[in-house]
Amino acid sequence: MNKNENLEKLKDKYKNIEIPDRLDRIVNDAMSVSKTKKNKIIKSSALAASISILVGIVNLVPTFANTLESIPGIGGVIKIINFRNYRINENGYDVSIDVPRIEGLEDKDLEYKLNKKFEERGKELYNEYLKEMKQLKSEGIKVKEYVKYWYDVKTDNEDILSIVIYKYSAQGSSNITRKFYNIDKKNNTVLTLEGMFEGTDYIDAISQNIKQQMKERMENNREDVYWLNDKMVDSNFNKIDKNQEFYINDKNQLVICFNKYDVAPGSEGLVEFVIPQEITNQIIYYQH
């Protein structure tokens, strides 16, 4: 198959992307109204809806993304790319480290700091395993260890970009941890629990709701176990950290996250609790 045939197939794929009826109506309305203040508002709505569709097109047709930068008003589409992959597959080590990169933030200083942090952490992990592998190899010791470090986008809407970075390791037993980055697109800031709520009341309010959810889960399913009032463990869950890991889901709800073994046996894996908005609305300080 030659390049021209590939190009024609790509064009056909782009032309056949279905545009929702609602977007058609918004765009048509915007074009038919006279140039008044009302027209400006409608056109803004049409543009916002169009950008949402364009994001979907970028994902479906990667080549189309290259033309977006040249279209007036379309630049600044926020996207996550795989910036680098560090790989070790030697002496029993099987290590893969994916480093994400954010592009399109208006605040380039914030974009630079985040990307620098991602890259530094990826390189740090790579050097740690490389050093460990070389040391064991020089001593004639062969290990069997699997490490996977990767990222995933939890939420990506017009307000919030939430990225989670996972680290999974297996050497006999296995463990998985994660780190969240929540970015307010409108205000170009990284969200923290401490910054979103005034004072410290949020710690107790959220912690009490989590305890209630733990009780309900254990009552509804005998297989669910949380360290709440367990006399067999030394550290029952009492309250969240002031900057507990979290993300904002697509329903604008706060989701509190715990790593494996933080609040439950390893059989529970990674644990999450969606905090009802009637709880957060009473203590919210930050509004995006």
Which residue reads 């069997």 in tokens? 144
What is the average pLDDT across 99-120?
A: 94
Domains and their CATH numbers in the chain? 3-68 (no CATH), 79-187 (3.30.565.40), 193-283 (3.90.640.20)
Q: Read out DSSP for 221-263?
A: -TT---SSS-TT-S-------TT--EEE-TTS-EEEEE-TTSS
Q: Dump pLDDT digits (tens) for 24-69.
A: 443 344 344 334 434 443 344 443 444 344 344 444 444 444 444 3
Q: Which long-range contacts (CB under 8 A, 24 or more apart) does 261-269 make?
A: 261/175, 263/214, 263/226, 263/227, 263/237, 264/225, 264/226, 264/227, 265/225, 265/227, 267/225, 268/224, 268/225, 268/226, 269/176
Residue 28's pLDDT is what? 43
Residue 208's pLDDT is what? 97
Where is 214: in which H helix or E strand?
Answer: helix 201-220
Burial environment of residue 150 by CB neighbours within 10 A (0 to 12, 13 to 18, 19 or more): middle
Residue 184's pLDDT is what? 92
In the sheet with 79-90, reading across from the earlier edge strand, the strands are 79-90, 93-103, 145-156, 160-171, 173-184, 189-190
Q: Dump pLDDT digits (tens) for 170-205.
A: 988 899 999 999 999 888 899 999 988 888 899 999
Burial environment of residue 102 by CB neighbours within 10 A (0 to 12, 13 to 18, 19 or more): buried
Number of Cβ atoms within 10 Å of the Cβ of 260: 19
What is the average pLDDT across 232-257?
A: 91
Residue 66's pLDDT is what? 41
Please list the helix, strand and coil fractions of the chain in percent, rounded to the nearest 5, in that order.
Answer: 40, 25, 30
Residue 12's pLDDT is what? 54
* Reported pTM: 0.69
Residue 75's pLDDT is what? 43
Which residue reads 């800031």 in tokens? 189
Residue 233's pLDDT is what? 75
Per-residue pLDDT at 11 exceeds 50: no
Per-residue pLDDT at 146 exceeds 50: yes
Q: CA-CA distance, 201 to 215, in Å (whole number)?
A: 22
Q: Dump pLDDT digits (tens) for 269-281.
A: 999 999 999 999 8
59 neighbors 78 (Cβ within 8 angstroms): no
pLDDT band at residue 285 under the 50/70/90 scheme: low
Output the average pLDDT for the chain.
79
Per-residue pLDDT at 17 exceeds 80: no
Q: CA-CA distance, 121 to 245, in Å (whole number)?
A: 18
What is the average pLDDT across 100-113?
A: 93
